[in-house]
Structures are given as C-alpha cells and as structure tokens.
Amino acid sequence: MAAIHELGKRGEELAAQYLKEKGYKILETNWRFGRNELDLIAEDGDTLVVAEVKTRHSNVFGDPEMAVTREKQRTIIRSANSYVRWKRRNIEVRFDVVSILIQGEEVSINHIPDAFYPMVR
C-alpha cells in the first residue's frame, strides 16, 4: 500500500511541476473537504482549475484517466463547490485530468483540459 501512495505522491508532484511550466499558478495541493480530496487547484488566467491526477505504472487495464469515473467526477465537483464557497471566489471553474504513466525511467504526461463538466439538473 505504501508503494501505491508513493506513486500517487510522485505523480501529483510531476503534475504540479508540469502545470507550473505551462504557466499555471498552483494554489493548493491535496486540499481536503471531509473525506474527499482535490489533488491540485490552480489558476490558469482567470479560470480556477481543479485537476485530478491519476498515476499508473502500466496501462494494461486502460489509461490512467479512465479511473476518473462519473462517480469520482461528482465527488470532485462537490468538493470544488465547497472550495469556491470556502474561499468566497466568484470565478469560472474548469475540471482537468492529468494522466501520468511511469514505466521505469520513462514518464509520459497527458493533460486533458475540460475533461468533464458538472451536470445541469
């Protein structure tokens, strides 16, 4: 279990560095809301970006981003709403996924802006 935690932590660090290099301003890492957590919260210009990071050693069972299920998206959206209320921000929010594959020394990063949207009821 510790190895999985370390893989996730490394992936989040790689994702944060990647986004910084793309000009994003990282505001929060591992922001917690109750039992839920937002991996990265950043600003991209006038947009608040909530980025879910998925890291794997292999894509044998699918690419890492496939693990961001609709239920996981709902949890992220609820947590992001809480963050915006807590910070009293009136800002557009975008949901990205950063998919990282680490195979030995080789690292590939797939950043998916606007990976999902809140459902309108």
Give 3-state DSSP helix, strand, coil % of the chain, rounded to 5: 35, 40, 25
* Domain residue spans of the chain: 2-116
Say what the pLDDT of residue 50 is.
Answer: 98
Amino acid residing at 29: T
For the segment 31-76, what is each residue's pLDDT rounded down to a tens digit?
A: 998 999 999 999 999 999 999 999 998 887 788 898 999 999 999 9
For the segment 73-91, what is each residue's pLDDT rounded down to a tens digit?
A: 999 999 999 999 999 988 9
**93 touches 80 (CB < 8 A):** yes
Tell me the pTM: 0.91
CATH architecture of residue range(s) 2-116: 3-Layer(aba) Sandwich (3.40)
